[in-house]
Chain A
């Protein structure tokens, strides 16, 4: 075998990669990339997102409590107002 024949032999011995395999690995890579992005959201983003929801939830709860207290007849208003004015949902 000449050197040229040998070089041709090496060139045609490259591994064959079929399209199904390419698709499968591509999906796997993209899945892993998405997972990595979620992990990289980081603790600060995680905390601020969730603390925002927590604050909004508490605010709404305060509004509801305030309305209920006002709607349910005689209450120690002086005491309630003195407390609620200091709170974020008002009095």
Chain B
């Protein structure tokens, strides 16, 4: 069993020290431990599974190439990774000719069992649609804070913001999503929105 599977704090940092020396085994362990979080943020921001896959792959390639640039005294590895992912997503959204976020949304394979499942999946589609219509940085704030469950301080570092600035951004993002959902006449799976 990989001794890095347990997820104790600091293990990513140990792995990164080895990755910086070109240790491919440590890199694989690092990928297996952190890929899911990179994908959650990337898909939360882009809305497309295919884009999220490409972004996560590119993010880890950057980790491999620039491992020597990471400074453990400045940020945890996960924060550094989130920052790479967010920046890649923002860069991609600036490119012309992108497929709009609401044209595709990957429905989950897991989650609540029937009959709640259909309502739950529908709910996720509505939230994704609302997310697609808010500014990129607001979407990043929601993805980091709600989807990935980061603390405000960590999410702020990942976005290169101060904590008050992040809180303001998150407040605007939350309000924007809520207004969009209300505009659709959305009714939540567990209780109505209005």
List A residues at the B interface (Cβ < 8 Å): 1, 5-18, 21-22, 25-26, 28-30, 32-34, 36-37
Q: State the majority secondary structure of interface residues on B.
A: helix
Q: CA A80 – CA B24 in complex, angstroms?
A: 53
| Interface of B toward A, CB cutoff 8 Å | 24, 27-28, 31-32, 35-36, 39-40, 43-44, 49, 52-53, 56-57, 60-61, 64-65, 106, 108-111, 120, 123-124, 127-128, 142, 146-149, 174, 177-178, 188, 190-194
Complexed CA–CA distance, A5 and B187 (Å) = 12
**Is A14 a contact of B40 with CB atoms below 8 Å?**
yes
- CB of A15 within 8 A of CB of B39, answer yes
List the count of A-B residue pairs having beta carbons below 8 Å apart. 101
With known contacts A36-B61, A36-B64, A26–B35 Cβ distance under 8 A: yes
Chain A, Cβ-Cβ closest to B57: A29
Question: Per a CB cutoff under 8 Å, which of B24, B32, B61, B149 touches A32?
Answer: B61
In the complex, besides A7-B174, A26-B28, 6 extra interface pairs with C-beta distance below 8 angstroms are: A1-B193, A10-B142, A12-B120, A16-B109, A16-B110, A29-B56
